[in-house]
């Protein structure tokens, strides 16, 4: 289920980010849905876009579907987060190089994207963590209410 959702999120996010960044980078009045370099490598804009959509979807599967590591109860939150973070980052760079978003010579871009991806990862992780923490707090509150209600019922009999 997570992988299916991840594929869709990956496709949408990949297209949006590429359209935004490529259109701004080339700044020639055209809307680009994938990099010129990928189009040149493939030879056809539609094929390039299709490849990018599929690769972005696969990355979404890795990023969202990979969050299943958090359900391994024997692992600490640090171990789960570390493994997921490394997987997400390695997957991103593989995808970015395949899609010709940047090359190995673009050290500044590579470093900037590392910082941006790390910040985005941290923000998403923190939102999820706080959400789960609030859910656990609510579950514990309800359990305490049930426990109190049961104790009252026992003392009345």
Residue linked to tokens 């958090």: 70
Opening angle at CA 37, ends 31 and 38, nearest 5: 85
Q: Residues 6 or more apart from 37 whose CB is under 8 A from it? A: 100
- Tell me the percentage of the chain whose pLDDT exceeds 70: 97
Cα dihedral sign for 111, 113, 114, 120?
positive
Residue linked to tokens 């910040």: 119
pLDDT tens-digit map of 28-72: 988 888 889 999 999 999 999 999 999 999 999 999 988 899 889
């Amino acid at each position: 289920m997570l992988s299916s959702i991840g594929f869709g999120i990956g496709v949408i996010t990949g297209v949006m980010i590429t359209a935004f960044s490529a259109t701004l980078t080339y700044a020639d009045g055209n809307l680009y849905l994938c990099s010129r370099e990928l189009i040149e490598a493939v030879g056809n804009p539609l094929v390039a876009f299709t490849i990018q959509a599929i690769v972005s979807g696969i990355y979404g599967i890795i990023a969202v579907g990979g969050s299943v590591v958090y359900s391994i109860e024997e692992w600490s939150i640090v171990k789960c987060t570390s493994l997921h973070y490394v997987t997400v980052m390695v997957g991103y760079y593989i995808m970015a190089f395949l899609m010709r978003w940047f090359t190995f010579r673009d050290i500044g871009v590579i470093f900037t994207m590392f910082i941006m991806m790390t910040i985005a990862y941290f923000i998403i992780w923190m939102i999820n963590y706080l959400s789960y923490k609030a859910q656990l707090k609510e579950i514990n509150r309800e359990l305490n209410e049930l426990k109190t209600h049961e104790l009252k019922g026992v003392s009345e009999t």
